[in-house]
Amino acid sequence: MDNIRLDFQKHIDAGRCNGAEWIINHKNNTYHEVIGYNDLVKNNKLNKNSYYRIWSMTKPIVCFAAMQLIEKNFLSLDDTIDKYLPNFKNLKKLKLLTSKLDDTIKVDNSPTVRQLLQHTAGFTYNSSNNFLAEAYEEKKLFHSSSRSLEEEIESISGLPLLYEPGSEWHYSISIDILARILEVVTKDKLLNILKENIFYPLEMNETNFFISEDKNKNLVETFEYNSVNSKLTDLTLGTRKLILYGYPANNENYCRGGHGLFSTAADYIKFATMLINGKDKNAKPLVNMETLQSMRCNSLDRNLLPIEITSTNTIKDQNYENDLDGYGWGLGFRVLMNNTPQNKFGVMGEFGWSGYAATYFLVDPINDLSAVLMMQILDAEKNIKKDFYNNIFKNIK
């Protein structure tokens, strides 16, 4: 823990980080630390159990809820999505990954629930570097803080797919589509599904798509890392940036599948730790072990590896690293399959995910280990997370 704290202080002193909070559970020991500030002028110290926009760390929670409902026979992994969302019948795809939007052909197979979980269904993100992503941006998908999840998904259904389902791994808005399917099959709102099946059993009382106004003072401000100046700055808005996605704090009707949840480090570590054995603190299973194992083992064919996430501002120069090199993908998580020069210390089978504003979690079932890191920095300097990760696995006993 001393090494982790020293590394964070180094990044804070260099202006790469304003503050961070982390929790590590190892066997029966818990380490909870916070360092730094909630602003750039260092007037306000960052406090434990602050609220964070966890961005894509929403996805594993939604994926877990989906697997619970699959166990209960609400839906099946191999169901095509048009079974529940009829607007997705008769989909087309771009003729080539580099094709423009008017150069399409019919898909051979409809995307499935499994492919949504795998990010192989054919969708993309506004920030990706392709013509379909440009169309997402032109339609301002997910920019609104007031449009319903149903409305957003209906907008997507009128667009082609980027590729034939199952033929590529491409990080995408597929979990938003999955979330809408969960609403359809249960005839309930996504938040109610998550509360009933995950938040209540795990006592995750501070995780929600909504923050009451009296708690807004505890919401950590978001900053952006400028790699040119190697400094944090206030947010800069521009086209094709995920920061444009609506992420309101006080809209009780708001929900998304791929982002949107607010949480605390103390709350999220409950979810991460549960993923070791699938049970709540009273030893009641939330899913059976077979289901949990299927989520945290690589589910991709070898020809879809290596996986990688790039965007319109990705620069592949001599300093570029694919931080997913060595990882496969399960049904909701990255899964470490082999060590690489970028990851020399991770344990095989370690899994987890991260969020756009530098939130991050990992689970290592072999060593009975879970860890959560909370920050609010867009495009954060990669060594911050790497130092945190390496300190854990170099010193594990």
Q: Give the mean pLDDT of 46-56.
A: 97
* pLDDT band for position 50 (cuts 50, 70, 90): very high
Q: Which helix (H) or strand (E) holds 268?
A: helix 265-274
Range with the poorest average pLDDT among 110-119, 261-270, 340-349? 340-349
Q: Report d(CA 133, CA 311) in Å as an integer.
A: 10
Angle, CA 125 vertex, CA 346 and CA 235 arms, to 5°: 80
* Per-domain boundaries in the chain: 2-49+219-237+266-394
Q: Give the mean pLDDT of 262-269.
A: 98
Q: What is the CATH number of domain 2-49+219-237+266-394?
A: 3.40.710
Q: Give the mean pLDDT of 57-76.
A: 98
Range with the poorest average pLDDT among 79-88, 189-198, 239-248, 298-307? 239-248
* pLDDT band for position 387 (cuts 50, 70, 90): very high
Bridge partners of residue 208, in order along the sequence: 262
Q: Give the mean pLDDT of 306-318.
A: 90
Q: Report d(CA 31, CA 26) in Å as an integer.
A: 8
Range with the poorest average pLDDT among 39-43, 82-86, 115-119, 174-178? 39-43
Report which of 169, 89, 49 is spatially closest to residue 121, judged by C-alpha positions: 169
Is residue 397's pLDDT more than 80?
A: no
Per-residue DSSP letter, 283: S
Predicted confidence (pLDDT) per residue in 12-46, tens digit: 999 999 999 999 999 989 999 999 999 999 889 99
* pLDDT band for position 1 (cuts 50, 70, 90): confident
* pLDDT band for position 294 (cuts 50, 70, 90): very high
Q: Give the mean pLDDT of 91-119.
A: 95
Question: What distance lies between CA 315 and its chain's CA centroid?
Answer: 22
* pLDDT band for position 322 (cuts 50, 70, 90): very high
Is residue 4's pLDDT more than 80?
A: yes
Predicted confidence (pLDDT) per residue in 214-255, tens digit: 888 999 999 999 988 899 999 988 888 898 899 999 999 999
The per-residue pLDDT for 188 is 98
- Determine contact, residues 363/275, Cβ cutoff 8 Å: yes
Q: Report d(CA 294, CA 362) in Å as an integer.
A: 17
Indicate the residue type of 326.
Answer: G
The token pair at 134 is 């440009």
Angle, CA 199 vertex, CA 61 and CA 358 arms, to 5°: 45
Dihedral class, residue 43 (left if φ above 0, else alpha if ψ from -120 to 50, else beta): alpha
- Rg of the chain on CA atoms, in Å: 20
For the chain, give the mean pLDDT. Answer: 96
- Determine contact, residues 148/253, Cβ cutoff 8 Å: yes
For the chain, how far is it from start to end, CA to CA, in angstroms?
13
Is residue 277's pLDDT more than 80?
A: yes
The token pair at 216 is 């807004």
Report which of 256, 339, 328 is spatially closest to residue 294, judged by C-alpha positions: 328
Bridge partners of residue 53, in order along the sequence: 262
The per-residue pLDDT for 315 is 84
Angle, CA 174 vertex, CA 172 and CA 176 arms, to 5°: 110
Is this model's pTM higher than 0.85 or not?
yes
The per-residue pLDDT for 228 is 87
The count of residues in the chain is: 397
